[in-house]
Amino acid sequence: MVLLRAVGWALIVLGLLVLGRDLWVWAAGGPFHLTAGGELWFRLDQGSLNLTQAVIQRYFAPALWDPVLVTLLLWPATFTLIGGGIILVLAFQGRRRWRRL
């Protein structure tokens, strides 16, 4: 549980970093553009994106890749990373222990 919460917080931080990068490009005079998740993944490691697509379409279900995962990859990376992080943090926050005063 603690590990998944830590992953959630890491996703939130990464989402904020991607948003910061998008704002930095905009402040430097470029157009305001939120980086899509697929675009970010392609920039980081295009081979793993292609491999993931091939494995999912060949061994799982072609309908899982398109339209489900393609739709997620077209969403802004900031929203998917922060949203996924919030879901993990909230889902694995654990029980709160109440102390008597």
Q: How confident is the prediction along the chain (101 residues), in pLDDT tens digits per residue?
A: 899 999 999 999 999 999 999 999 999 999 999 999 999 999 999 999 999 999 999 999 999 999 999 999 999 999 999 999 999 999 998 766 666 65
Residue 1: per-residue pLDDT: 85
Q: DSSP state, 66? A: I
Residue 97: per-residue pLDDT: 60
Cβ contact 35:21 at 8 Å:
yes
How do the domains of the chain map onto residue ranges? 1-34+77-94, 36-75
SS3 76: strand
Residue 96: per-residue pLDDT: 66
Cβ contact 88:49 at 8 Å:
no
Residue 45: per-residue pLDDT: 96
Residue 99: per-residue pLDDT: 63
